[in-house]
């Protein structure tokens, strides 16, 4: 179990750095989110976060409230237990995936329009000046596969 705890601490840090960069979160907020993600459905408590992240109660509280306000976290309670158990807000995760899907679809449409424009231009250009369309064709194909994969991921999350 000690080896797993060390691995989890390593992954919390690595995922935390990733979340800082990708989502612009403050370092401790990113570590909180990473800790919650790697704890899973059982949830993690305020006290656990203070202990494992070695941060002050006020710092953890401030960032927990911020992540909750952003709807990134949810919590549940247990009968007879006054603690809150924090988990990932699944609806927020689904919304992030929906946003990602829309972004990929929009990018695909842009590449289709550019490719169509270049194909039309090619009718008026000499052979040596014609646009190369293989990149757009390949990118659109890649994009379609990415959209299918992301949609499948979303479907899996919604079902669980």
Spatial contact of 118 and 55, defined as CB atoms under 8 Å apart: no
pLDDT at 159: 87
What would the pLDDT profile of 96-118 be if each residue is shown by its tens digit? 899 999 999 999 999 999 999 99
What would the pLDDT profile of 14-26 be if each residue is shown by its tens digit? 999 999 999 999 9
Domain interval for residue 45: 2-88
Residues 64, 120 within the same domain: no
Q: How many domains does the chain have?
A: 2
Residue 85 forms beta bridges with which residues?
A: 76
What would the pLDDT profile of 30-84 be if each residue is shown by its tens digit? 999 999 999 999 999 999 999 999 999 999 999 999 999 999 999 999 999 999 9
pTM score: 0.77
What is the crossing angle of helices 134-159 and 90-122, to 10°?
160
Q: What is the DSSP letter of 131?
A: P
Residues 13, 80 within the same domain: yes
Phi (first) and psi of residue 81, to 5 degrees? -120, 125
Residues 111, 35 within the same domain: no
Spatial contact of 12 and 34, defined as CB atoms under 8 Å apart: yes
pLDDT at 87: 96
């Amino acid at each position: 179990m000690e080896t797993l705890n060390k691995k989890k601490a390593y992954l919390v840090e690595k995922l935390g750095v990733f979340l800082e960069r990708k989502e612009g979160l403050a370092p401790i907020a990113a570590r909180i989110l990473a800790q919650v993600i790697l704890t899973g459905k059982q949830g993690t408590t305020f006290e656990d976060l203070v202990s494992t992240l070695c941060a002050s109660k006020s710092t953890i509280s401030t960032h927990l409230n911020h992540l909750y306000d952003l709807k990134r976290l949810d919590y549940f309670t247990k009968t007879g237990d006054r603690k809150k158990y924090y988990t990932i807000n699944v609806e927020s995760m689904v919304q992030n995936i929906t946003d990602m899907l829309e972004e990929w679809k929009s990018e695909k449409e842009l590449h289709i329009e550019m490719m169509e424009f270049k194909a039309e231009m090619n009718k008026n250009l000499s052979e040596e000046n014609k646009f190369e369309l293989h990149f757009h064709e390949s990118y659109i194909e890649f994009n379609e596969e990415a959209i299918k994969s992301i949609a499948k991921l979303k479907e899996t999350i919604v079902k669980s």
